[in-house]
Amino acid sequence: MKYYVGIDLGGTNIVAGVVDENYSIRNKASKKTNCPRPAKEIADDMAACALQAIADADLTPEQIEWIGIGTPGIANSSTGIIEYANNLGFVNVPMVEWISRATGRPTFIENDANAAAYGEYVAGAAKGATNAVCITLGTGVGGGIVIDGKIYDGSNFAGAEIGHMVLNLDGPQCTCGRKGCFEVYSSATGLVRMTKEAIETHPESKMRDMMLEKGKVTARTAFDCMRLGDPIAKEVVDFYIRCLASGITNTINIFQPDVLCIGGGVCNEGDALLLPVKELVAKEVYTRNSKKNTEIVIARLGNDAGIIGAAFLGKAQ
């Protein structure tokens, strides 16, 4: 049996997992990222998590084939340097060198959304596909693209920023500097914003009652109230789904993957989200008259996608 380690570096947590050749996670270890602080301190904790997970799996570092890292930001997989990660405060951080030196194992690095997409590609909802795209609906809209088994990074290792295609030139301001991005409409953050705007405009909505009861608005509020028969909530959900379907259609028109999987907490809505999205995309996609079209599915691996994908980065090179 061969073993690998995947490290999922996030703004809140560092999680390392030992993964076997059958894509099963044997053990995990984690620490708080505790940003902001020096990158070397974070790297030391990443290495410590990896070594702890290895030890807890009753293995030695020598039994690990390699270590893979999924990180926010622009990760140069050729040089092993995190060139920029704004939420971590990283600029030109030699992460691969530090982790390899601390663990004694070959180390690879990739953007976290790409690593998660690769996890779904090798072991999840996109397993068996030749070409796949994964879109994650979280704080933002993350993207990962796999073409012929290889992660697509672009010429500058910043490819697959699917969330920053523009759906509306005069739309809300995005954190990237543009307006009306896919991300401002289809992220969980965007859904919460649209829900709050609807509550302000329609205080009679059940969404306001739920907000007061729960103490906050979440990405579930509009969906939950729609199921209670609230017409305003249904308007929010319908608009959200239209925006999501539009972004997915644009992505399919460009890449024509075998599989496009969507993940993130919003996808817990299941068929209430997936079925109307698929119906809209089927009507709008350029290849709607073709015999073969992209299969749209919900991601399967959840938070483990990044760990599994990172663990197998050595095969994606």
**How far is Cα 230 from Cα 239, in angstroms, rounded to an integer?**
15
**Could you tell me if 41 and 167 lie in one domain?**
no
**Could you tell me if 155 and 283 lie in one domain?**
yes
**How far is Cα 250 from Cα 270, in angstroms, rounded to an integer?**
22
Q: In this predicted structure, what is the pLDDT of residue 228?
A: 97
**Could you tell me if 93 and 188 lie in one domain?**
no
Q: Are 263 and 137 in contact (CB under 8 A)?
A: yes
CA of 9: how far to CAs of 33, 82, 112, 200, in Å?
8, 12, 8, 37
Q: Give the chain's domain count.
A: 2
pTM of the entire structure?
0.90
Q: Are 232 and 217 in contact (CB under 8 A)?
A: no
**How far is Cα 156 from Cα 269, in angstroms, rounded to an integer?**
35
Question: Could you report the per-residue pLDDT of 154-199, keeping only the tens digit for each?
Answer: 999 989 999 999 999 999 999 889 999 999 999 999 999 999 999 9
**Could you tell me if 276 and 310 lie in one domain?**
no
**What is the average pLDDT value for the chain, to the nearest integer?**
95
**Amino acid in the structure at residue 125:** A
Residues found in the chain: 317
**Could you tell me if 102 and 230 lie in one domain?**
no
pLDDT at 315 over 90: no
**How far is Cα 135 from Cα 251, in angstroms, rounded to an integer?**
10
**Could you tell me if 272 and 249 lie in one domain?**
yes
The alpha helices in 104-181, defined as continuous H runs, are 112-123
Q: In this predicted structure, what is the pLDDT of residue 11?
A: 86
Q: Which domain holds residue 13?
A: 3-121+304-316
**How far is Cα 159 from Cα 157, in angstroms, rounded to an integer?**
6
Question: Could you report the per-residue pLDDT of 62-84, keeping only the tens digit for each?
Answer: 999 999 999 999 999 999 999 99
**Could you tell me if 70 and 173 lie in one domain?**
no
**Could you tell me if 62 and 149 lie in one domain?**
no
**Could you tell me if 194 and 255 lie in one domain?**
yes
pLDDT class of 46 with cuts at 50, 70, 90: very high
- Token pair, residue 99, equals 């982790």
Q: In this predicted structure, what is the pLDDT of residue 243?
A: 98
Question: Could you report the per-residue pLDDT of 275-288, keeping only the tens digit for each?
Answer: 999 999 999 999 99
What's 216's domain CATH number?
3.30.420.40
pLDDT at 86 over 90: no
**How far is Cα 234 from Cα 239, in angstroms, rounded to an integer?**
8
**Could you tell me if 145 and 77 lie in one domain?**
no
Average pLDDT of the residues in 79-103: 95
Average pLDDT of the residues in 198-207: 97
Q: In this predicted structure, what is the pLDDT of residue 6?
A: 98
Q: In this predicted structure, what is the pLDDT of residue 317?
A: 73
**Could you tell me if 171 and 240 lie in one domain?**
yes
